[in-house]
Amino acid sequence: MILKGAEINRYLARPDPTRPALLIYGQDAMRVALKRAEAVAALTGPNADEEMRLTRIPGADLRKDATLVVDAIKEVGFFPGQRVVLVEDTPDAAAPALATAIGEWAHGDAAIVVTAGGLTKSSALRKLFEPHASAVTAPIYDDPPGEEEIHRWLAEAGLTDVPQPAMRDLLALSRALDPGDFRQTVEKIGLYKHGDDSALSPEEIALMAPSTIDAEVDELIDAVAEGKSDRFGQLMRRIEGQGIAPVTICIAALRHFRALHAASADPGGAQAGLSRLRPPVFGPRRDRMARQVQGWGMRNLEEAIHHLLDTDLQLRSASRAPQMALIERALIRLSMMPRGAR
């Protein structure tokens, strides 16, 4: 049986212990590992390792000894509860040994969970599992988790009251982070909100989210984008004292103004455009950048980007001009540009 779409996540959250084997495969090793851990935990419950109800077998070992899985599923444990034999990083060469084990599996035996990397249509493992009447195949794609899956992770972290604005920002964050980092962030949010009966807010999500840009440079670019030339000098001297390279400042400024430009061009408005960026912008940061978009206007943003591109070329050229002076002059010019749509 081949799982498809939303049924993949639903099944892996509650696998059927009466089915002999489950194949989980995909290109992204982290996504496969997360789904494997979820499925095994759902099958065995807590304390499976301590109670010796979980047996791990490297897939490559099956090429040397094809009886490993059969012996493992038939073992009788000392503790009650569902047992699982986990075969990890499984190559196609292990397919004959797994076929034998699935053929000899009987009710009461340990469930077999097999993980593998990306498998082609001609893969021996897929040819074994996909047409099988009882075994289950769960292909894991590189899609970010959906709202249903995030709700389940939040519930596991102890959060059930999640308003729509907070869920919108979590969905945006899930597209920006790899699945392992996102799952850790959800757990971090759960710990932060432990014992707090108030609803999760976008501000709290922004506080818990991993930082993606140096705070000092971020503050400087915000001052430029908001025309706060009175703060520029102090911020610039602080960054210069930290030894941040001028080209790094220019790249960060270009990224910021390109984000403003993309949001300005979005038919859904600046807020929606910022949420659709890669990585997305959310929480109070999104509100602040949305105000910057409205203050600049499309034409002025295009002019700012052209000016930063010219500065970037000068910084990377053989010019002997002082580089910090070049980027400082460019940012001062931007901070003093007239605002408003043109």
pLDDT digits (tens, 9 = 90+) for 45-91: 888 888 899 999 999 999 889 899 999 999 987 888 899 999 999 99
The CATH number for 60's domain is 3.40.50.300
Backbone angles phi, psi at 27, to 5 degrees: -70, -35
pLDDT at 44: 94
- Same domain, yes or no: 224 and 273: yes
Tell me which residue has tokens 């105000």: 291
Residue 333 parent element (H or E): helix 323-335
Q: How far apart are CA 298 and CA 258, in angstroms?
A: 11
- Same domain, yes or no: 133 and 152: no
Of the three residues 91, 108, 139, the one that is the final residue of a domain is: 139
Identify whether the C-beta of residue 308 lies closer than 8 Å to the C-beta of residue 330. yes
The CATH number for 279's domain is 1.20.272.10
Identify whether the C-beta of residue 116 lies closer than 8 Å to the C-beta of residue 130. no
What is the pTM (predicted TM-score) of this model? 0.58
- Same domain, yes or no: 167 and 127: no
pLDDT at 326: 92
Is the pLDDT assigned to residue 242 strictly greater than 80? Answer: no
Q: What range does the domain containing 68 cover?
A: 6-139
Q: How far apart are CA 253 and CA 224, in angstroms?
A: 9
123: tokens are 């893969």
Q: How far is CA 291 from its chain centroid? A: 27
Look at residue 342 and tell me if it is in a domain.
no
- Same domain, yes or no: 178 and 237: no
- Same domain, yes or no: 181 and 89: no
**247, exposed or middle or buried, with CB in 10 Å at 0-12, 13-18, 19+?**
middle
Look at residue 267 and tell me if it is in a domain.
yes
Band (97; pLDDT cuts 50, 70, 90): very high
Using alpha carbons, select from 325, 321, 339 the residue that is nearest to residue 236.
Answer: 325
Peptide bond into 279 cis (omega under 30): yes
Look at residue 1 and tell me if it is in a domain.
no
Q: How far apart are CA 268 and CA 289, in angstroms?
A: 15
Please report, as a single letter, which amino acid is at residue 182: F
Using alpha carbons, select from 169, 129, 167, 151 the residue that is nearest to residue 21.
Answer: 129
Mean pLDDT of the 190-202 span: 84
Look at residue 341 and tell me if it is in a domain.
no
340: tokens are 């408003």
- Same domain, yes or no: 74 and 194: no
- Same domain, yes or no: 198 and 255: no
- Same domain, yes or no: 267 and 168: no
Q: How far apart are CA 132 and CA 21, in angstroms?
A: 10
State the number of CA atoms in the 13 A half-sphere of 277 facing the CB. Answer: 24
User: H helices within the chain, ranges in order?
Assistant: 6-13, 29-44, 68-74, 95-104, 124-129, 147-156, 164-176, 179-192, 202-208, 215-225, 229-241, 246-265, 270-275, 283-296, 298-316, 323-335
Band (342; pLDDT cuts 50, 70, 90): very low
As for how many domains the chain has, the answer is 3
Band (339; pLDDT cuts 50, 70, 90): low
- Same domain, yes or no: 120 and 30: yes
Q: How far apart are CA 129 and CA 151, in angstroms?
A: 30
Of the three residues 187, 208, 229, the one that is the final residue of a domain is: 208
Look at residue 305 and tell me if it is in a domain.
yes
Identify whether the C-beta of residue 280 lies closer than 8 Å to the C-beta of residue 206. no
- Same domain, yes or no: 233 and 200: no
Given the DSSP bridges, would you call strands 136-139 and 111-116 parallel, antiparallel or unpaired?
unpaired
Look at residue 160 and tell me if it is in a domain.
yes
Band (224; pLDDT cuts 50, 70, 90): very high
Q: How far apart are CA 142 and CA 331, in angstroms?
A: 39
Residue-wise pLDDT for 255-277, tens only, equals 999 999 999 998 888 888 888 88
Q: How far apart are CA 136 and CA 153, in angstroms?
A: 23
* Mean model confidence pLDDT for the chain: 88
